[in-house]
Amino acid sequence: MSTQEETSLNFIEQIIEEDLKNGKHNKVVTRFPPEPNGYLHIGHSKAICINFSMAQKYGGKTNLRFDDTNPVKEDTSYVNAIQKDIEWLGFEWDAEPLYASDYFGKLYNYAAFLIKKGLAYVDDSTQEEIRAMRGVPTKPGTESPYRNRSVEENLQLFEQMKNGDFEEGEKVLRAKVDMSSPNMHMRDPVIYRILKAHHHRTGDEWCIYPMYDFAHGVSDSIEGITHSLCSLEFEHHRPFYEWLNKQLEIYEPQQIEFARLNLNYTIMSKRKLLQLVEEGVVNGWDDPRMPTLSGMRRLGYTPEAIRNFIDRVGVAKRENIIDIALLEFCVREHLNKITPRVMGVLDPVKLVITNYPDDQVEQMTAINNPEDPEGGSRTLPFSKDLYIERADFMEDPPKKYFRLGPGRMVRLKNAYIIECNDFVKDEATGEITEIHCTYIPNSRSGEDISGLKVKGTIHWVSIPHAIEVETRMYDRLFNDENPDGHKDEEGNSISFMEFLNPDSLHVQKAYVEPSLASAIAGDRVQFMRKGYFCVDPDSTTDHLIFNKTVGLRDSWAKKQKK
């Protein structure tokens, strides 16, 4: 490998290549271990891409393992949604999905093994008492009065916990590690608790469940994970991860942390995203304003754009906040290549071509996508009565306004040059209700012999042929860059709900060209000069709904040039 290739490797790739080179491993095995208690969001996409791509690059495999250790919050619907999102992103896991619940019997035995080694004990203390015992990082914690129970008593009590002899919160099993450690995760963490709840896979077989930190590391070991890749928030959990597998005398995977994905104007906490859903702020987990992958899919984002975004963000060890405009740039960049250009008038005003025959309809040729040589073309009906955008006409236009105004000429995209001769105004409101123009017959696009030069080109739809649709114009859900990072004068956190954008959704009627009559959910288009849109799943054959994915304006690229 050349020096240039070596320096281009990220730090995880450098570790993996060194492990393969020195024979520590002969095959790379990674895993993506979501908890099935919510939908995946854009932050998870980084972990997905890293775990799956690392295994792919080195000819290994990736397990999908659901860490389903909390039946109170978990549901099969989340399991199904997570699988759908991973597949949509373009990744395949090895064999069938795995579950921490597959190992509940083994995990119980491993916990009993710790008890037999004198490294775990049953504690009768309450959650509040245990929290107080742990203290603060700068001072040693206080040992539990139950810490020195005999092995025999602990084994008996633990079995009674399993048999349902105690109520929730009455007892827990704690690992016996180090109450003086500056790392709070090492101060005798709870590894089992009583939960008398129905589990989505094991039903009522168990009434005790392992804590995440216990189940996670042992599950990695059981599966032979070579590189346990996770975000930096788990860095302080690693000492216990390593201690646990060492004390259990089992295979020890290597945990490696990378900087998680943080986006401005975005909330990444599943708990807080659930709050938005439960309080009706958004219309479900797949609401296009949500940072969930299902929400982004519904909005019209492509998996290619998200993977490209993750590549651009890169793999690093230092936390930082990424501008959401970069994500929008990646979406816009990909959609520009793949979406057909169509006519859609979002804020219509009627335009009448006074010298065009009343009953005449011409078919105008339009290229579907100038960025795609194989995209082909289509025909558009053209008639006397058209809709144009209200913003494309001004009664008294300024000097540098090149669209339509009294006495001004513009070209109708793919059609004729027109000149405005008159307009009709509502006397009560002052609103323009109709624009009257004449067309130049020998100025048809592709056949223009008029010799006229015009600076402006506007889009249109033929009124007799137009399809009325609903457009949902989405904006950011929050109007603050850091909605979860504010405190009041007394240092108390201000709720992220205080920074909701009241104008995050605007629904309006629009008119589109007839070629879209057969559009189905998921179809993506660019409405010329307006932005990229995607057909919403709520659509029917009689009522098409278009979600605005992203505008044409590239704010991120402009920021980079400053």
Type of residue at 260: R
Catalytic site includes residue 472: no
Residues 135 and 356: their CA atoms lie apart, in Å, by 84
For residue 405, what are the CA distances in angstroms to 391, 413, 452?
A: 11, 17, 17
Here the tokens at position 309 are: 């975004």
Closest CA to 191 of 173, 166, 217: 173
Q: Establish whether 131 is a catalytic residue.
A: no
For residue 118, count other CB atoms closer than 10 A to its CB: 12
What Cα–Cα distance (Å) separates residue 174 from each residue in 84, 165, 194, 269, 416?
36, 18, 12, 27, 79
Number of other residues whose CB lies within 10 A of the CB of residue 193: 20
Question: Catalytic residue among 270, 384, 444, 472, which?
Answer: 270
Active site residue 411: no
Question: Which residue shows structure tokens 């090149």?
Answer: 402
Can you read off the two tokens belonging to residue 213?
């930190």
Residues in contact with 537: Cβ distance below 8 Å, sequence separation at least 6, in sequence order: 298, 521, 522
CB atoms under 10 Å from CB of 369, counted, come to: 18
Instruction: Note the residue count of the chain.
Output: 562
**Residue type present at position 277:** V
Whether residue 457 contacts residue 410, with contact meaning beta carbons closer than 8 Å, is answered with yes
| Widest Cα–Cα separation across the chain | 101
Annotated active-site residue in 61, 196, 201, 260:
260
| Catalytic residue chosen out of the listed positions 31, 35, 341, 472 | 35
Active site residues: 35, 260, 270
